[in-house]
């Protein structure tokens, strides 16, 4: 199973763009890359998922290079409410999978 590595913490200011990079050197051909956000005492919330190149939704963008050994979650113009823990996960597609492997995540703190 591909293990992920991401920074323990990051700081930013309101209005800035934040990029959180995740390493997954052992990613397999049939693995997706998924990011979740979690606020204190709440369940994680799905942000974005991708397989290769770039994926964008109303919340974030996900950049995945050709070798797929890393990925970068990009949050445009963060606000105080984006302060949360962000988890990078690698999950297999096309198989029975209700099981998500969460690492330690990245604590993002946004300052005024």
Partner 1 sequence: KAGVTQTPRYLIKTRGQQVTLSCSPISGHRSVSWYQQTPGQGLQFLFEYFSETQRNKGNFPGRFSGRQFSNSRSEMNVSTLELGDSALYLCASSLVTSGGNEQFFGPGTRLTVL
Cβ proximity of 105 and 6 under 8 Å: yes
Shortest Cβ distance from residue 46 to partner 1 (Å)? 5
Determine the size of the site formed for partner 1 (CB under 8 A): 25
Interface pattern 12-51 for partner 1 (x via CB under 8 A): ------------------x-x--------xxxxxx--x--
- Other residues' Cβ atoms within 10 Å of the Cβ of residue 112: 7
Per CB under 8 A, 80 contacts partner 1: no
Checking DSSP bridges between strand 70-75 and strand 18-23, what pairing results, if any?
Answer: antiparallel
Backbone angles phi, psi at 89, to 5 degrees: -130, 150
List residues binding partner 1 (CB under 8 A): 30, 32, 41-46, 49, 87, 91-105
């Amino acid at each position: 199973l591909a293990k992920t590595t991401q920074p323990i913490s990051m700081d930013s200011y309101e209005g800035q763009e934040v990029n959180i990079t995740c390493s997954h050197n052992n990613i397999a051909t049939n693995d997706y890359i998924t990011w979740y956000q979690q606020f204190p005492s709440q369940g994680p919330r799905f942000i974005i998922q991708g397989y290769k190149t770039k994926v964008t939704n109303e919340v974030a963008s996900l950049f995945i290079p050709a070798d797929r050994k890393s990925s970068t979650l990009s949050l445009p113009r963060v606000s105080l409410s984006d302060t949360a823990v962000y988890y990078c996960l690698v999950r297999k597609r096309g198989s029975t999978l209700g099981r998500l492997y969460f690492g330690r995540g990245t604590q993002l703190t946004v300052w005024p």
